[in-house]
Amino acid sequence: MEKKKNFQTDRRRFLVSMGIAGAASLAVPALNAVAKENEVNWGEEHEIVIIGSGFTGLAAAIEAKKLGAKDVIVYDKMPYFGGNSTYNGGLFAVPNSPLQKEKGIEDSAETMAADQLKAGRGVAYENLLLHVARHANEALQMTLDAGSEYVPYLQQLGGHSVPRTYQTIEACGAGIIRPLVDQCRKLGIKLVTRAKFDSLIFNDEGTVIGAKMLMGHYFGRDVEGTPVNVRSKRGVLIATGGFARNVGLRSAQDPTLTEEVPSTNPPSATGEALLEMFRVGAVPVHMAYIQTGPWASPDEDGFGYVSNYSIYNFAHSISVYVKTGKRFMNEIADRKTRSDAQLALRNDDGSPLPPITITSYEHAKEHPTMKKVLKYGVGWKFDNVEDLAAHFKVPLEPLKKQIEEYNGYVKSGIDEQFGKPMGKAEGKYIQAPFVVVRNWPKVHYCQGGAQIDVHARVIDSNTWEPIPGLYAGGEVTGGMHGVSRLGSCSIPDCMVMGMTASRTMMKS
């Protein structure tokens, strides 16, 4: 018991030893959060408290209700639900899925985890990956039960060894978030917006017994809101996402991620809840592993239309360095490989020089976002290669030669330049008319965060055991993906760990 009672002092020492900026002062809110339960002025009390209304939070809420929870509440600091999950591309990797079985595709949880470990450069947590992969079908079924709809084919994204990725018909995460929100309402789950998480409240034994919320918060308007202490009977789930929009925090981990690199995330992805978990002793894991999306466009804000367009079309397209007219990468390598290759492309003065991705109109139009890409001026259609080269100031003859060379790879089925798998490019030659977009990486996903176990319990840096009453899932956690996350693996991660957190809490 003595060890437990001294946990806040030990946490202060831990933060200082980690060299976290302002560690001593950052620990003060945590010290002040220790309270005697009967002395706290509780404004609200609920069975399960969930902070964040994205994939993790909504899946947790629905699962808790299904398991018999009577009083579940979900808070979000924004005036709308879904957070970054709404901005998500709606791509959902599921091994052994119904659509794989229908198409005769052999896959397994072990195969998917192996693909992720390879992309994660061997430092991802295999036990977490296997747990998510083994329960991904349950998460998929939750979305189907809620009313989500998917296109009738599977995609094979970069780094995946087989096609296993579903795509919402909306081509965005809103196609999952909206049905889940509706399902929450049908189940009687309380959903509250403009409620910003401030800090955790512990009892004197080190158990999380609630959270201080700022009600009536207006993001970006200097209106913090009114403090309300919310008690939770079974636990608090932190499901607030990553810190991609916090330039100071992300560049402290990776100095290359300056303002020069935009983000696909909404402005609200600032990471305060993650910092609060660190203040109270959670273990920081893989904080420098921050993923950029190589399919994003410098010509639109956020995730935009080009992202899903490019994800689909990279398999049968060529990406070309404007200076040379030549390819510079395998267009469907894992995200880190491609982003690093793009970030190296520069003008003579060192400024970014986004490459162009060229697709035949005949094949580009197969993806539903192409019309919007052209409509909103973030992509261009050309009737011949001469006009294309002139528009982007690409050397004409090298570009012609590159297209001819690549079409030879399509015919032979072997990419002799970069080893790109050509299965999805079979019969899809680069020929006029063309659709062209520009690509430039955007900060997309933070692999780093707080350490959790396979039960979604946050690990204590003092005891290396779970912090009682504290749970987390999704992008606010670390270790799941390692150095580089495979595309379409965030939805299963978030939803499965949200469901897992509720299963753990309902057993407590």
DSSP letters, 355-372, are: -EEEEEHHHHTTSTTHHH
Chain-centroid distance of CA 491 in Å reads 8
The one-character DSSP state at 108 is -
Neighbours of 297 (CB within 10 A): 25
> Given this chain, do its domains 2-88+171-289+444-482+493-507 and 295-440 carry the same CATH topology?
no
The one-character DSSP state at 424 is G
From the list 61, 56, 94, the residue with the least C-alpha distance to 173 is: 56
Sign of the dihedral defined by the CA atoms of residues 83, 357, 291, 493, in that order: positive
Q: Are 429 and 407 in contact (CB under 8 A)?
A: yes
**Domain extent listing, the chain:** 2-88+171-289+444-482+493-507, 295-440
Superfamily of domain 2-88+171-289+444-482+493-507: FAD/NAD(P)-binding domain (3.50.50.60)
Neighbours of 365 (CB within 10 A): 14
Distance CA 51, CA 240 (A): 6
pLDDT value for 154: 95
From the list 205, 207, 204, 223, the residue with the least C-alpha distance to 215 is: 223
From the list 234, 293, 239, 237, the residue with the least C-alpha distance to 262 is: 293
From the list 56, 86, 304, the residue with the least C-alpha distance to 177 is: 86
Rg (CA), the chain: 24
pLDDT value for 8: 43
| CB hemisphere CA count around 425 (13 angstroms) | 28
* Residues 6+ away with beta carbon under 8 Å from 286: 123, 447, 448, 449, 478, 479, 482, 483
Q: Which two tokens stand for residue 463?
A: 């005891």
Interstrand relation of 226-238 and 466-472 (parallel, antiparallel or unpaired): parallel
Q: Which two tokens stand for residue 297?
A: 């466009």
Give, in degrees to the nearest 5, the angle at Cα 318 between 436 and 336.
105
Distance CA 246, CA 263 (A): 10
pTM (global) more than 0.85: no
Q: Would you write out the chain's pLDDT as a tens digit for each of its 508 residues?
A: 333 334 344 444 444 434 444 443 334 334 445 666 778 999 999 999 999 999 999 999 999 999 999 999 999 999 999 999 998 989 999 999 999 999 999 999 999 999 999 999 999 999 999 999 999 999 999 999 999 999 999 999 888 999 999 999 998 999 999 999 999 999 999 999 999 999 999 999 999 999 999 999 999 898 999 999 999 999 999 999 999 999 999 999 999 898 888 999 999 999 999 999 999 999 999 999 999 999 999 999 888 899 989 999 999 999 999 999 999 999 999 888 999 999 999 999 999 999 999 999 999 999 989 999 999 999 999 999 999 999 999 999 999 999 999 999 999 999 999 999 999 999 999 999 999 999 999 999 999 999 999 999 999 999 999 999 999 999 999 999 999 999 999 999 999 999 999 999 999 8
Q: Which two tokens stand for residue 332?
A: 């469907």
pLDDT value for 11: 43
Q: Which residues of 441-468 are buried (b: 16+ CB within 10 A; e: fewer)?
A: bbbbbbbbbbbbbeebbbbbbbeeebbb
Distance CA 25, CA 68 (A): 41
| CB hemisphere CA count around 415 (13 angstroms) | 23
pLDDT value for 34: 61
From the list 413, 499, 507, 465, the residue with the least C-alpha distance to 239 is: 499
Query: Quick check: is 338 catalytic?
Result: no
Q: Is the peptide bond before 433 cis (omega within 30 degrees of 0)?
A: yes
CATH code, 295-440? 3.90.700.10
pLDDT value for 10: 42
Annotated catalytic residue, options 164, 335, 338, 457: 335
pLDDT value for 398: 98
The one-character DSSP state at 469 is E
List Cα–Cα distances, 397 to 357, 381, 385, 386, 403, in angstroms.
17, 20, 10, 9, 10
Residue type, 240: T
Q: Which two tokens stand for residue 79?
A: 């005036």
Distance CA 409, CA 415 (A): 5
Give CB contacts under 8 A, 24+ apart, made by 375-378.
Answer: 376/300, 376/305, 377/299, 378/297, 378/299, 378/300, 378/304, 378/305, 378/306, 378/437
pLDDT value for 67: 98
